A and B are shown apart, each in its own frame.
Chain A
Amino acid sequence: MSAERLQSGSFEELALPLFDQLYNFAQWLTQDRAEAEDLVQETYTKALRGFTSYQQGTNFRAWMYRILRNTFLTSRTGLRNAATTSMDAEDDSVPAVSDPDTPESILIERSNQQLVQTAIEELPLPFREVLLLCEVEEMSYQEMAEALAIPIGTVMSRLSRARAALRNNLRGKLSKV
């Protein structure tokens, strides 16, 4: 009994600080406010219920993201997304290096937030999520591997492909400006 109580106290303290970032990530996945709220609520419900099976000492944040992501993938939007996402993203090969870098002058001024947001939105889901976990959540490769349930090598290649895709997309957009 006391142990249960102990855990419910620490769940709140561990899980609540993640609320803002989980919500942000959820809305990036679902692209819809109501769906993001449902997703976050379900994540917290599942995590609270499963907290006894959570192994102390392992990465709690990665564990929460993993629940959120699994919940999303089995939701209607998630299933639709999986059906349309090209499996290219699962390719482990690292892309050729010699692609030129983004026209940085445009990004220096930071006036093009909207442009970058649209470019992220247009990335296929596997690219979008790995990029956001790395750049926004600043997760380590190990943490991303746990959150996405994939090997570190796949994290690295997927991240690299996601960045190349983003640079390509931005380059296309900027040439039209």
Chain B
Amino acid sequence: MACDSWLAKLDTYLDGELTASEMSAFDAHVRGCSSCAASTLARVQLKRAVRSAGQRFQAAPEFRQKIRAQIAAPSHPRRSLSWFWAAVTLALVLGAFLTGWIRQERGRQGALYSELTDLHVATLASTTPVDVVSTDRHTVKPWFQGKIPFSFNLPDLANSEFTLIGGRVTYLRGTPGAQLIYQLRKHEVSVFIFPEQALRLNTRPEALFTHLTFHTASWTQDGLRYFVLGDVSPDQLQSLAALLKAAK
């Protein structure tokens, strides 16, 4: 099989451990080869499934407290601790804390965006990508009534390059929301809308995030969290985001 040599590297590709040039060669190949694209999708889904199944056990609060007390720094500072060392300690602790926090935040963001990428890819791979098929926002918006516990506005696309394909109800972390599919030439873009509070993400929206060649723009508006995700250029993505933000 011609693709065996690609498939042999598929896991390494998805783990992000190929060299930069191999990564982009792989990107290009997957785009043009439907059989490798299907295998990639299956592996991504398995990775996702293992990640969420693997986050399984939580420590008891008392046990966490016990460990915290066990490793806590002595509460009485020694007299020999000069101001200099106190300042250095503070700087190091702050630095470590910040790096840890940023890394954790990136991790959470990464997991969230890969989940959304999965939803997007799975929708496009489905034989019935949308449940309400219409290019008319006045048809698509009312269709969601009674299906999701919130309402939203969709933009008028008369003067833009985007076309509305339709919409479907989707779920993120157990929260129902709307997924709208837009098209820009041959590219599909998903717009996800979820009630911010129900989602309880603990992450701030990020203007632009890139995962597996997909870009995601995200923001919060009127208590709703929006994600615009697709393989179009970041500029095109932002222009659709701007249209949505301005929708009345």
Contacts and interface: CB of A to CB of B under 8 A. Distances in A.
Nearest to A4: B78
Nearest to B122: A108
Dominant secondary structure of chain A at its interface with chain B: helix
Given A2-B81, A6-B88, A15-B71, A116 B58 contact: no
B41 A40 contact: no
Contacts of B92: 6, 9-10, 13
A123 B110 CA distance: 26
Interface in B76-96: 77-78, 80-82, 85, 88-89, 92-93, 96
Dominant secondary structure of chain B at its interface with chain A: helix
A13 B100 contact: yes
A14 interface: yes
B39 interface: yes
A150 interface: no
A36 B81 contact: no
B46 A163 contact: yes
Interface of B: 1, 4, 7-8, 11-12, 15, 17, 38-39, 41-43, 45-60, 63-64, 66-68, 70-74, 77-78, 80-82, 85, 88-89, 92-93, 96-97, 100-101, 104, 107, 110, 122
Contacts of A10: 89, 92-93, 96
A24 B57 contact: yes
Contacts of A163: 11, 46
A113 B133 CA distance: 31
Contacts of A104: 41-42, 45-46
A130 B55 CA distance: 15
Contact of A41 (B11, B66, B81, B97): B66
Nearest to A27: B57
A173 to B, nearest CB: 12
Contacts of A33: 57, 60
A62 to B, nearest CB: 14
A140 B195 CA distance: 34
Contacts of A117: 53, 56
26 contacts: A1-B81, A5-B74, A5-B89, A8-B73, A10-B93, A16-B71, A19-B67, A20-B59, A24-B58, A27-B57, A28-B57, A36-B57, A40-B63, A44-B71, A48-B71, A97-B7, A98-B7, A101-B38, A104-B41, A104-B45, A108-B122, A110-B52, A120-B53, A131-B54, A135-B51, A136-B50
